[in-house]
């Protein structure tokens, strides 16, 4: 039986070594697909075609299947994120406390819809299904940092601070 | 690791703690951390040192009362401080040994007195990243007891006697499930801990994993011994980074102490656990979908049977339990199934952790004995609805559950009672709604959730939830008709009966329960184009009667 040799790294970028490390740790097993995609996303911020192709080839998973997995899970993003990310939680507790107003205010202020990045690539606006901090609802994640009991004014102020940087 | 070695560790922790006059526990759960309790802890440590107090400042997991965070608990006096910030550190340190700081003190005795802590017994008392703290509070005694004094059959018998039922929402008897996996043929079996807490408005599992991760690992190890598995997976949401990092630390420490790995407790038993990250798909909370996800595939459910107990992960017999279920195991083995069966109601034993949120004064995590009335939870422990508003409904069970109207608050909380009134126990989210919430809009919110989260494999769920969402949106906009309502009810039964997995089968529950208890609100939207709570934006101009 021919011995499988994983494909070479796509570029000199050191981050590919981290990605390769995850696959090696799992013995290049097919079931390591999601684990590896997590590593790609945490290293690069998003998943592009090259990355998906590389991971699929390395793990001997059909490209269609790898792409299917990427698009199935909300956590994976095919587009590069903005410099800053504003994630608004839309879980039930936050909904009861009026998160729809926060989202509407942010969308209006940034002129983008949820899931999009401003044209200058500065701010990405996204929603989360529930970040599990319901005791502090409504909550947002500003660059991953949790802020509870937030008002529309505070949210806009944060967006303006980023824009002024 | 033997009993003697465990006892030695416990004794050394106790001796080390006894040296101090006071122990200052600072809550560093997600809620309090978001209010910078880490800075508070540093400030307290510095203040205690500067003032020469013989005290010890400890990072702990969630204390439960998120509304009043950041929280500080001073032992042994049991003084609880609320809304404590770094600038209060000096005052708190100065008060040690004297009168407590009155303006920071939290006097919510009724909030804590009515609770019974089994799952949360260590939360807020131990450092979640120190395995020795856990061992000092009887940690891993249950595992060693099971391995050295009990046969796998004895363990399953104790769990069966305890009457423990699955805490993920289904309420399937845990002992029965373990028995089935134990009987399944095969030399390779798996134990999976379901920490894919997808219900929006629920954070019990997150809190347990962040506050007391070793307890879950111990529960899994006992389960593995009982069913004959030696490999485990914990499936955690990627949205819970703190839980993942604390679990990673906990697993490493357990391995170092010989409590995971080969020949645990000098017995032939081998067991190890790996973490698998979820990637944001609600349907992965369903066990067959979760298994597909661990296998690295799209998380779509499979028809059952075969059940995972006979053919699960990679076709092998697999035991799947929820985080809270595993968290109950160690105390049951330590104190016996009978002890556990003595708590709770007739057919629902033990306690349940609820995430109490929404329009309620004391938001946070509570653990109550089964059978307690909703009124006690909401008005007693929860402190009622704030700002003079009136309670309208309580939502349990997330998108699979229903809304319980205010007049049914006196029913006792148990699996069966909640099903009887059109809701479910669910994983433990309990969202309180007041008169500012529109029940039609709430139903639409949940259907929108199910519509987006439907994996698309079966048509009733994929197309049904989308159609229901269209109808509900129309009603919310004031353009719905009575025919729409009839069609909606019709669709509810189709989706319920014909969907493949739990997501679709329970998706109509929020609609059905609001239709059942709040039909007048639907009629108001349709017939008078009016939203009684003033939430929905009606397209047609509203005529206001003077």
Q: What is the DSSP letter of A73?
A: S
Is A42 in the B-facing interface, judged by CB distances under 8 Å?
A: no
Q: CB count, 10 Å around CB of A160?
A: 10
Residues of B in contact with A30 (CB under 8 A): 296
User: Measured in Å, how far apart are chain B's first and last C-alpha atoms?
Assistant: 78
Q: What is the mean pLDDT of residues B220-225?
A: 98
Residues of A in contact with B383 (CB under 8 A): none
* Chain B closest-CA separation from residue A93 CA (Å): 5
State the pLDDT at residue B169: 82
For position B67, which CATH number holds? 3.40.30.10
Is A40 in the B-facing interface, judged by CB distances under 8 Å?
A: no
The CATH classification number of A84-164 equals 3.40.30.10
For position B142, which CATH number holds? 3.40.50.11540
Strand B22-27 vs strand B72-75: parallel, antiparallel, or unpaired? Answer: antiparallel
Residues B225 and B323 in one domain: yes
Task: Identify the residue among A77, A92, A148 best suited for mutation to test binding to B, counting B beta carbons within 10 A and taking the highest.
Answer: A92
Q: Smallest Cα–Cα separation from B216: which of B189, B236, B202, B201?
A: B236
For position B496, which CATH number holds? 1.20.1440.230
Q: Do B203 and A68 touch (CB under 8 A)?
A: no
Q: DSSP 3-state assignment of B434? A: strand
Q: Considering only alpha carbons, which residue of chain A is nearest residue B364?
A: A135
Query: What letters, b where the CB count within 10 A reaches 16 and e where it falls short, cover A131-150?
Result: bbbbbbbbbbbbeeebbbeb
Q: What is the DSSP letter of B252?
A: H
* Chain B closest-CA separation from residue A163 CA (Å): 23
How far apart are the C-alpha atoms of B86 and B45, rounded to whole Å? 11
Q: Do B265 and B225 touch, CB atoms closer than 8 A?
A: no
| Domain count along chain B | 4
> Which pair of structure tokens corresponds to residue B82?
């609320």
Q: Do B489 and B515 touch, CB atoms closer than 8 A?
A: yes
Domain ranges for chain A, please list them. 15-72, 84-164
* Beta-carbon-side half-sphere exposure of residue B273 (alpha carbons within 13 Å): 32
Residues B319 and B410 in one domain: no
Residues B155 and B97 in one domain: no
Strand B55-60 vs strand A140-142: parallel, antiparallel, or unpaired? Answer: unpaired
pLDDT at residue B108 greater than cutoff 90: no
**Total CB pairs under 8 A between chain A and B:** 139
Pick the range with the lowest mean pLDDT from A60-69, B73-82, B463-472. B73-82
> Which pair of structure tokens corresponds to residue B164?
């423990």
Q: What is the DSSP letter of B345?
A: -
Q: DSSP 3-state assignment of B153? A: helix
Q: Which domain holds residue B448?
A: 439-527
> Which pair of structure tokens corresponds to residue B390?
């009136």
pLDDT at residue B541 greater than cutoff 60: no
Residues B152 and B88 in one domain: no
Task: Report percent pLDDT > 70 for chain B.
Answer: 99
pLDDT at residue B111 greater than cutoff 50: yes
List all residues of chain B from 63 to 82 with a beta carbon under 8 Å from chain A: 66-67, 69
What is the tens place of the pLDDT at every residue in B442-454? 999 999 999 999 9
> Does B116 fall in a domain?
no
Q: Considering only alpha carbons, which residue of chain B is nearest residue A41?
A: B279
Which parts of chain A have pLDDT scores under 50?
none
Residues of B in contact with A73 (CB under 8 A): 279-281, 299
What is the tens place of the pLDDT at every residue in A3-33? 778 889 999 899 999 999 999 999 999 999 9
Q: What is the CA radius of gyration of chain A?
A: 19
Task: Identify the residue among B241, B297, B396, B401 best suited for mutation to test binding to A, counting A beta carbons within 10 A and taking the highest.
Answer: B297
State the pLDDT at residue A42: 93
Residues B162 and B308 in one domain: yes
Q: Considering only alpha carbons, which residue of chain B is nearest residue A89?
A: B200
Task: Identify the residue among B65, B209, B239, B514 best suited for mutation to test binding to A, counting A beta carbons within 10 A and taking the highest.
Answer: B239
Q: Do B307 and B176 touch, CB atoms closer than 8 A?
A: no
> Does B124 fall in a domain?
no
State the pLDDT at residue B538: 80
pLDDT at residue B8 greater than cutoff 80: yes
Q: Do A132 and B298 touch (CB under 8 A)?
A: no
Is A114 in the B-facing interface, judged by CB distances under 8 Å?
A: no
The mean predicted confidence, pLDDT, of chain B is: 93
Phi and psi at residue B402, to the nearest 5°? -140, 175
Q: What is the ipTM of this complex?
A: 0.92
Residue B341's pLDDT band (cuts 50, 70, 90): very high
How far apart are the C-alpha atoms of B214 and B229, rounded to whole Å? 19
> Does B490 fall in a domain?
yes
Q: How far is CA B226 from the centre of its chain?
A: 24
> Does B299 fall in a domain?
yes
How far apart are the C-alpha atoms of B117 and B120, rounded to whole Å? 5
Is A163 in the B-facing interface, judged by CB distances under 8 Å?
A: no
> Which pair of structure tokens corresponds to residue B522?
């639907």
Residues B160 and B265 in one domain: yes
How far apart are the C-alpha atoms of B34 and A148, rounded to whole Å? 7
Q: Where does a domain end: B108, B128, B151?
A: B108
State the pLDDT at residue A67: 96
Residue B75's pLDDT band (cuts 50, 70, 90): confident
Q: Do B298 and A139 touch (CB under 8 A)?
A: no
* Beta-carbon-side half-sphere exposure of residue A137 (alpha carbons within 13 Å): 35
Q: Do A99 and A88 touch, CB atoms closer than 8 A?
A: yes
Residues B459 and B410 in one domain: no
- What sign does the dihedral B293-B299-B302-B308 (CA atoms) show? positive
> Which pair of structure tokens corresponds to residue B513?
């329960």
Q: Do A74 and B197 touch (CB under 8 A)?
A: no
> Does the model's pTM come out above 0.90?
yes
pLDDT at residue B221 greater than cutoff 70: yes
- What sign does the dihedral B504-B510-B516-B520 (CA atoms) show? negative
* Chain A closest-CA separation from residue B208 CA (Å): 12
Phi and psi at residue B162, to the nearest 5°? -70, -25
State the pLDDT at residue B69: 83
Sequence-distant (≥ 6) Cβ neighbours of residue A66 within 8 angstroms: A33, A37, A52, A55, A56, A59
- What sign does the dihedral A92-A96-A100-A106 (CA atoms) show? negative
Q: What is the mean pLDDT of residues B245-264?
A: 96
Q: What is the mean pLDDT of residues B201-226?
A: 96
What is the tens place of the pLDDT at every residue in B127-143? 999 999 999 999 999 99
Q: What is the CA radius of gyration of chain B?
A: 24
What is the tens place of the pLDDT at every residue in B342-394? 999 999 999 999 999 999 999 999 999 999 999 999 999 999 999 999 999 99
Q: DSSP 3-state assignment of B48? A: helix
Residue B395's pLDDT band (cuts 50, 70, 90): very high
Residues of B in contact with A90 (CB under 8 A): 200
* Chain A closest-CA separation from residue B326 CA (Å): 20
Is A141 in the B-facing interface, judged by CB distances under 8 Å?
A: no
Residues B410 and B448 in one domain: no
State the pLDDT at residue B545: 52
Q: Considering only alpha carbons, which residue of chain A is nearest residue B277?
A: A35
pLDDT at residue B540 greater than cutoff 60: no
> Does B468 fall in a domain?
yes
Q: List, as one string, the DSSP characters of B377-416.
A: IIIIIS---STT--EEEEEESGGGSEEEEGGGTTSB--HH
Residues of A in contact with B453 (CB under 8 A): 129
Q: Do A92 and B297 touch (CB under 8 A)?
A: no
Q: Left, alpha or beta for A24 (phi > 0: left; psi -120 to 50: alpha)?
A: alpha
pLDDT at residue B546 greater than cutoff 80: no
State the pLDDT at residue B543: 52
State the pLDDT at residue B72: 94
Task: Report percent pLDDT > 90 for chain B.
Answer: 87
Task: Identify the residue among B37, B296, B318 best suited for mutation to test binding to A, counting A beta carbons within 10 A and taking the highest.
Answer: B296
pLDDT at residue B544 greater than cutoff 60: no
Is B57 in the A-facing interface, judged by CB distances under 8 Å?
A: no
Residues B457 and B489 in one domain: yes
């Amino acid at each position: 039986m021919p011995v499988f040799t994983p494909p070479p790294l796509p570029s000199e970028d050191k981050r590919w070594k981290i990605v390769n490390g995850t696959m090696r740790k799992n013995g290049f097993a097919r079931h390591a697909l999601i684990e590896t995609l997590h590593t790609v996303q945490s290293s690069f911020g998003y998943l592009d075609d090259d990355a998906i192709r590389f991971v699929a080839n390395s793990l001997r998973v059909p490209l269609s299947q790898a792409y299917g997995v990427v698009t199935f899970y909300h956590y994976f993003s095919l587009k590069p994120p903005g410099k800053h990310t504003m994630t608004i939680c839309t879980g039930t507790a936050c909904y009861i406390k009026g998160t729809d107003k926060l989202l509407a205010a942010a969308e209006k202020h940034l002129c983008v819809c949820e899931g999009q990045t401003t044209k200058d690539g500065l701010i990405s606006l996204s929603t989360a299904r529930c970040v599990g901090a319901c005791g502090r609802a409504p909550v947002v994640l500003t660059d991953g940092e949790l802020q509870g009991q937030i008002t529309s004014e505070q949210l806009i102020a944060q967006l303006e601070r980023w824009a002024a940087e | 690791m033997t009993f003697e070695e465990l006892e030695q560790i416990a004794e050394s922790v106790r001796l080390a703690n006894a040296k101090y006059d006071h122990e200052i526990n600072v809550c560093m759960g997600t809620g309090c951390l978001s209010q910078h309790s880490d800075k508070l802890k540093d400030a307290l440590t510095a203040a205690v040192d500067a003032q020469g107090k013989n005290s010890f400042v400890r990072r702990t997991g969630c204390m439960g009362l998120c509304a009043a965070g950041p929280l500080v608990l001073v032992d042994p006096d049991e003084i609880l401080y609320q809304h404590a910030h770094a600038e209060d550190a000096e005052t708190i340190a100065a008060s040690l040994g004297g009168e407590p700081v009155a303006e920071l003190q939290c006097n919510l005795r009724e909030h804590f007195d009515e609770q019974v802590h089994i799952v949360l017994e260590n939360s807020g008392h131990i450092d979640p990243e120190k395995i020795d703290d856990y061992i000092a509070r009887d940690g891993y005694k249950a595992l060693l007891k099971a391995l050295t004094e009990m046969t796998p059959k004895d363990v399953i018998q104790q769990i069966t006697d305890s009457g423990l039922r699955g805490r993920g929402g289904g309420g399937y008897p845990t002992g029965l499930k373990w028995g089935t996996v134990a009987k399944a043929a095969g030399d390779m079996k798996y134990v999976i801990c379901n920490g894919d807490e997808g219900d929006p408005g629920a954070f019990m599992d997150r809190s347990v994993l962040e506050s007391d991760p070793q307890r879950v690992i111990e529960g899994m190890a006992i389960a593995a011994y009982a069913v004959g598995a030696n490999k485990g997976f914990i499936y955690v949401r990627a949205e819970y980074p703190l839980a993942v990092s604390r679990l990673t630390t906990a697993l490493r420490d357990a391995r170092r102490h010989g409590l995971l790995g080969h020949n645990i407790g000098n017995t032939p038993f081998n067991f190890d656990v790996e973490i698998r990250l979820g990637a944001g798909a609600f349907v992965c909370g369903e066990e067959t979908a979760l298994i597909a996800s661990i296998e690295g595939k799209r998380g779509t459910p499979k028809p059952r049977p075969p059940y995972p107990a006979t053919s699960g992960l990679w076709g092998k017999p697999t035991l799947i339990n929820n985080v809270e279920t595993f968290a109950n195991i160690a105390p049951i083995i330590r104190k016996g199934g009978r002890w556990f069966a003595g708590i709770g109601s007739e057919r629902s034993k033990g306690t349940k952790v609820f995430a109490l949120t929404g329009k309620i004064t004391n938001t946070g995590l509570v653990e109550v004995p089964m059978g307690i009335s909703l009124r006690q939870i909401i008005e007693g422990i929860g402190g009622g609805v704030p700002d003079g508003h009136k309670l309208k409904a309580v939502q349990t069970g997330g998108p699979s559950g229903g809304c319980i109207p205010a007049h049914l608050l006196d029913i006792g909380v148990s699996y069966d009672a909640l099903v009887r009134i059109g809701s479910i126990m669910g994983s433990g989210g309990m969202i309180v709604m007041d008169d500012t919430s529109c029940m039609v809009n709430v139903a639409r919110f949940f259907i929108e959730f199910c519509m987006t989260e439907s994996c698309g494999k079966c048509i009733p769920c994929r197309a049904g939830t989308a159609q229901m969402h269209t109808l509900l949106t129309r009603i919310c906009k004031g353009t719905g008709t009575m025919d729409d309502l009839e069609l909606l009810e019709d669709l509810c039964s189709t989706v319920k009966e014909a969907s493949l997995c739990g997501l679709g089968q329970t998706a109509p529950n929020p609609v059905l329960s609001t239709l059942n208890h709040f039909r007048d609100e639907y009629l108001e939207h349709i017939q008078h184009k009016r939203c009684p709570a003033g939430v929905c934006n009606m397209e047609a101009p509203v005529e206001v009667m003077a």
